[in-house]
Amino acid sequence: MLFNSLTFLVFFAVVFPVYLLLPRWGWRKGFLLAASYVFYAAWNPAYVVILAFSTTLDWWLARRIAATDHVGRRKILLLVSLVANLGLLGFFKYGGFVLANTQSLLGLMGIAYAPPGWDIVLPVGISFYTFASLSYTIDVYRGEIDGRTDLRDYALFVAFFPHLVAGPIVRARALLPQLEKPTLPTADQAAYGLVLVLIGLFCKSVFADRLFAPVVDMVYAGAGTHGLVPTLAAFFGFAGQIYFDFGGYSLCAIGLALCFGFAFPDNFRFPYGARGFSDFWRRWHISLSTWLRDYLYIPLGGSRGGAWATSRNLMLTMLLGGLWHGASWMFVAWGGLHGLFLVVERAWRKRWPALTWRGADALLTIVTFLLVCVAWVPFRAATPDIAWAFLKGFTRIEGGSVAQVVALAAALIMFAWQWRHRDSSLDEWLARAPEGGRAAIAAVCLIGLFLASGGDERAFIYFQF
């Protein structure tokens, strides 16, 4: 059930008014939980069992952790949560990847091995709700939150449909306190939430799907046959496509949650205007980058062990972050590039801590954006051969079509816009809009969605992760 589908529009049109009309807070939460499970079952009813199992297990383990002071027992209970959640994630997401690489490795050793076919469908959203649920058991183990949460509240935290299938990765400490006390959205909250949903759908349907995706898909499909302008259009265009696709989804999720009276954290903050790569990861997919920081990078030792240890921890974190995105060495390469960028940047800032010369900030911003786009190549290309063939397009002088030139210009305008507004936020920008500005923005989005309708219905890119 895609946010940009008629099915979801009907779903929301039923769920939202019923939620508002129910007289008791407990009834509202129960109804919202049931609706979230219906939303998830629309993808594949069988996988509801996995979601319910993971939820119930982590809820029970967290209560056991909170009930004992025995250090060894607490560690065992946390280990069970980690093994169960990561085991399920590993089986469904990486089983085929492991088999294929085992076959290749044995082949290099002269051993013929034909693994069974792997046709298990990846449960949608499993990467997101697994990380959300793990944050709860880990925080309870650390003593940072109470582990005696009501099962219904905990199940709703995990399954709440706005963030269930593609984030943001909302943590228990952010949402559970909101579920404890009765709340209903104000008219202003609901209206603002709907504006965010419209902006998110506009970003997805108009910018990502209609402006950038056709150009990017064509050039990558014919990698090696295109020249400079088409390659530039796809090079910068994919940066625009993935930002407007995933950023649009996050806006929809935040807006939908706000319609029901719940606040989600920002997931993007003008990332292409970043001053360096550490700044980029404070702006891009913030819920994942902070999760990796708090539950992987810092436990590995963070920056506490000297230059080599810090570099190792950064690289391991980014390699695993790349692998989280998908069972492919291309995603690992993307994570490795970002790990390398972070390591080099850290060494460079240690050597030259202050940028005092004129134009340094502008140069850093431009270089960051260019290298982020370089890293998007292995993220988008299915194989190293396709990535290399795509990059060779920069060596051939060739003009482009109108659509390619428009996509290239739009991507560069996007970069300039984010650079201009990087010290602000979308909320602040909307707050500065003149009276009636939000209504005008909503109207423009509705017109754009109408004009963009009727084409192929594309799933959000991050649904595959």
Would you list the domain boundaries of the chain? 6-182, 189-464
Q: How far is CA 38 from CA 44, 47, 59, 291, in A?
A: 10, 12, 21, 28
User: Shortest CA distance to 291 belongs to which of 143, 166, 135?
Assistant: 135
Length of the chain: 465
Angstrom distance (rounded) from CA 74 to CA 91: 25
- CA-closest candidate to residue 270, choices 417, 418, 429: 418
pLDDT given for residue 256 in this prediction:
96
SS3 at position 382: coil
Closest CA to 47 of 170, 134, 135, 130: 130
Under DSSP, the state recorded for 127 is: H
Catalytic residue among 226, 285, 325, 338: 325
Rounded Cα–Cα distance for residues 127 and 90 (Å) = 10
312 is written with which tokens?
A: 């190792």
pLDDT in tens, the chain (465 residues): 788 888 899 999 999 999 999 999 999 999 999 999 999 999 889 899 999 999 999 999 999 999 999 999 999 999 999 999 999 999 988 888 888 888 888 888 888 877 777 777 788 889 999 999 999 999 999 999 998 999 999 999 999 999 998 879 999 999 999 999 888 899 999 999 999 999 999 999 999 999 999 999 999 999 889 999 999 999 999 999 999 999 999 999 999 999 999 999 999 999 999 999 999 999 999 999 999 999 999 999 988 888 899 999 999 999 999 999 988 999 999 999 999 999 999 998 887 777 767 788 899 999 999 999 999 999 999 999 999 999 999 998 888 899 999 999 999 999 999 999 999 888 888 888 777 888 888 899 989 888 887 766 677 777 666
- Determine the pLDDT at residue 360: 84
φ, ψ for residue 117, nearest 5 deg: -65, 140
Task: Convert 225-253 to b/e letters by CB count within 10 Å (16 or more is b).
Answer: ebbebbbbbbbbbbbbbbbbbbbbbbbbb
Residues 6+ apart with CB under 8 A from 318: 335, 336, 338, 339, 342
CA distance from start to end of the chain: 16
325 catalytic per annotation:
yes
Write down the pLDDT at residue 43.
84
Instruction: For the beta carbon of residue 431, count every other beta carbon within 10 angstroms.
Output: 12
CB neighbours of residue 360 within 10 Å:
13
Residue-level pLDDT at 262: 95
- CB count within 10 Å of CB 267 equals 24
* pLDDT for 456: 62
In 3-state terms, what secondary structure has residue 194?
A: helix
